[in-house]
Amino acid sequence: MASPAEEIRRQLEESARVKQSFSNELIGRIAQFAEKSAAALRAGGKIVFFGNGGSAADALHLAAELVVRLRTESFRADRCRKRLRIRTHFFPPD
């Protein structure tokens, strides 16, 4: 059984391998998303992340990361923070 430090190292190395394997197409799509998102925020628009179950947690995480990042950069994060809303809905099964 691996020690906790060895397991952490293994997981970090695996994560690095995955990120290094990103295709040029995927990197281009990420860059395009960033450019369009920045343009929308500068124009007073918004970015909406959503999901269901674990994807909802991912969406919340992405929104929080964006707000924290904007708070430390030149963009006025005040507008973004005011618009960060968390909505949860429960629809019982039929």
What are the residue ranges spanned by the domains of the chain?
A: 1-45, 46-85
pTM for the predicted model, two decimal places: 0.60
Q: Is the pLDDT of residue 93 over 70?
A: no
Residue that has been written with the tokens 């909802």 in this structure: 56
* pLDDT, tens digit (0-9, with 9 covering 90-100), for 47-89: 888 888 888 888 888 888 887 777 665 555 455 555 555 565 5
Residues 88-93 have a mean pLDDT of 60
Consecutive H or E run containing 65: helix 54-71
- The chain-wide mean pLDDT, for the chain, equals 82
| Six token digits for residue 94 | 């039929």
| pLDDT number for residue 39 | 93
In this prediction, residue 92 carries a pLDDT of: 63
What are the angstrom distances between the C-alpha of 30 and each of 1, 37, 86, 89? 38, 10, 24, 29
